Amino acid sequence: MKLGNYALGQWIEGTGKSADLIHAVTGEKIGEASSGGLDFAAMADYARTVGGPAMRRLTFHQRAAMLKAMGQYLMERKEQFYAVSAATGATRSDSWVDIEGGIGTLFAYSSRGRREFPNETFHVEGPVEALSKGGSFVGRHICVPLEGVAMHINAFNFPVWGMLEKLAPALLAGVPCIVKPATATSYLTEVVFRAMVDANIFPAGAIQLICGSAGDLLSHVTEQDVVAFTGSAATGQMLKAGDAMMRHSVRFNMEADSLNCTILGPDAVPGTEEFDLFIKEVVREMTTKAGQKCTAIRRTIVPAAMQEDVVKALSARLAKTVIGDPAVEGVRMGPLATHGQVRDVGAAAERIRASSELVFGGGDFEVIGADREKGSFFGPRLMVCSNPFQSDEPHDIEAFGPVNTVMAYDSLEEAVALARRGRGSLCGSLITHDPKIARDVILGVAPYHGRLLVLDRASAKESTGHGSPLPNLVHGGPGRAGGGEEMGGARGVLHYMQRAAVQGSPSMLTAITREWSKGAEAYTDTVHPFRKTFDELDIGDTLTTGTRTITLDDIVKFAELSGDKFYAHMNDEDAQSNGVFTGRVAHGYFIVSAAAGLFVDPALGPVLANYGMENLRFTKPVYPGDTIHVRLTVKQKTAKMPREGEIPQGVVEWDVEVINQDAEPVAVYSILTLVRRSTE
């Protein structure tokens, strides 16, 4: 079997020299990969000129719908992917993280695209910034898709998740992608990619695939492109320093392997739930994916008084780990991905031993259902470094497999210092049930980590564990970890967009952003805005209501009805004594209710429901005898993609300003309503 490359809208078999693809369990050749003959410059141009325009014509909500549809399509075919994943040496649970975890990022970003971004082709970020005294000159930030291509260079350990966690935010942003998986496990990536092409959900040019060498791909980058890399720091630095990369100041996001640590709190003594959680977590991180995770625990930092207990407990649990063919019942750890990895991990482990003692593993180990020599098997190794402050090896050398080094501390300050010696990590964890310990340690190590887990009995049942990146949290870290960030919810999408500050009059910015800015032109007519359908409403449509005078009787009745009898509403002397008010004041929520009574049209009409209020501020107290009115303005409109059987509708955000008799705002906020559409 020779893997295909998907370029310029078609499958192309590479020519020339090929790389052999080897079954990690049996050692047998299962295929070949080659990118020979591909025109990388043409692929990049095809993405920019065909895929890019097609993606940018779609709104965030349309792109989100595509991600959801693709997630559903892939999930229906997941068993095909599990069958292929077995050749990588992954157990079923290993493959679950890779396959279903990867597909899950499509669903996660689909949901965020609908909830956190507008049904627009661009994103308006942050509030209007006043730039002049009179209010006629203002500024806003907008985020628009970059007009280049995202080039994703992925690692071998997660052939599916590594691809999809990068694709999801890039495609949601409207940027086409070229995927370059690590050759060793590219056969699994290719199977999933073929399914995506067959689904015919993404526009032509949105996704392309290179199986084999990336050749001179990065020599064709431009200032509008983005490169995202996962792998070793050395390779990442080499790619980042490329001539074209430097010349065009190309955005480069690196997620590099790091020497992640876990810390056992001094309160988590043997016999506590936390001690047991700690032992379980360390062993899980050593053996899941055979330790081939960029987030795996490499350094285990424990109180000196508990080091012996920790080593005994870890050794006992590791001794129960069944190694072999993941297809065999009871096997909990499979092989490494390749024979080359076996050599590299073994060599790195030996270098760490220069300053550490091997306390478990390193000799013969039993392999179930497979030939240890033919497959890429490597047994867990646990070491102890007795002088972690004088030794560099455990903090500098990463064995990318089931290898871990235990080191002791005498104080929390020492624990923090040891964690920081990793010089930048993707993630770290602390196992403690003491909030003060947690605060001191987390604030001490946070500058050196991208993500931190505090694990104890309260979170253990639902915790995803030390090594699980999640689409709603950032994945990346400073220093050795590459200095980049992936995912992190909306942050990951904005990485593929250009933020531009736009300055002008409120009316001009309203026209550009399609979001009304205070001071922009407003439009009134004889038809109440609640009588208009979503499509009939225009940004800037404004209603100025009649007035209402607030009485003492109103305040008393609202207090009885609501039960809110705060002293400032009930007693003149008490209200005056607090130094804020000059007498009894109306409840803020009564003012909001009274405002609704002024602007709501009560009859059955296009408005279906009021389902939210945002950014409420009470800017001035309202006293008995004050008179208020309301200015209601259409601020933003977002058409909803109709679900089956649902009335066509959209969300209208209204700017609400409640004003007193002195023309002073007393309350400002936005309300959200569902409004019937007159057309699909």
Are the C-beta atoms of residues 641 and 605 closer than 8 Å to each other?
A: no
Are the C-beta atoms of residues 188 and 102 closer than 8 Å to each other?
A: no
Q: How would you write 292-341 as a 3-class SS string?
A: CCCCCEEEEEEEHHHHHHHHHHHHHHHHCCCEECCCCCCCCECCCCCHHH
- How many helices (H) and strands (E) would you count in the chain? 21, 27
Give the whole-angstrom CA distance, residue 486 versus residue 477. 10
Are the C-beta atoms of residues 275 and 264 closer than 8 Å to each other?
A: yes
Alpha helices in 527-566 (DSSP H): 552-562
Active-site entry in 190, 255, 486, 653 = 255
Give the whole-angstrom CA distance, residue 428 versus residue 414. 16
End-to-end Cα, the chain, rounded Å: 48
Q: Where are the beta strands (DSSP E) in 505-585?
A: 542-544, 548-549
The tokens for 562 are 């609501």
Burial (Cβ within 10 Å: 0-12, 13-18, ≥19) of residue 518: middle
User: Look-up: residue for tokens 């399509």?
Assistant: 73
Are the C-beta atoms of residues 345 and 378 closer than 8 Å to each other?
A: yes
The tokens for 79 are 């068993």
Burial (Cβ within 10 Å: 0-12, 13-18, ≥19) of residue 396: middle
Give the whole-angstrom CA distance, residue 423 versus residue 411. 20
Q: Where are the beta strands (DSSP E) in 440-514?
A: 449-455, 474-477, 484-487, 497-504
Alpha helices in 421-483 (DSSP H): 435-445
**Which run of H or E residues covers position 13?**
strand 10-13
Active-site entry in 294, 398, 427, 653 = 294
The tokens for 479 are 């220093």
DSSP strand pairing (649-659 vs 665-676) = antiparallel
Q: Is 294 a catalytic residue?
A: yes
Give the whole-angstrom CA distance, residue 369 versus residue 426. 35
- The neighbour count for residue 522, using CB atoms within 10 Å, is 19
Give the whole-angstrom CA distance, residue 223 versus residue 252. 11
Find, among 456, 99, 429, 439, the residue nearest to 282 by Cα: 429
Q: Which amino acid is located at 279 in the chain? A: I
Q: Is 79 a catalytic residue?
A: no
Give the whole-angstrom CA distance, residue 171 versus residue 106. 10
In this structure, the dihedral spanned by the alpha carbons of residues 641, 642, 648 and 654, taken in order and rounded to 10 degrees, is -40
The tokens for 334 are 């499979």
Which residues, listed in sequence order, are joined to residue 653 by a DSSP beta bridge? 636, 672
Find, among 582, 643, 588, 590, the residue nearest to 619 by Cα: 588
Residues designated catalytic = 255, 294
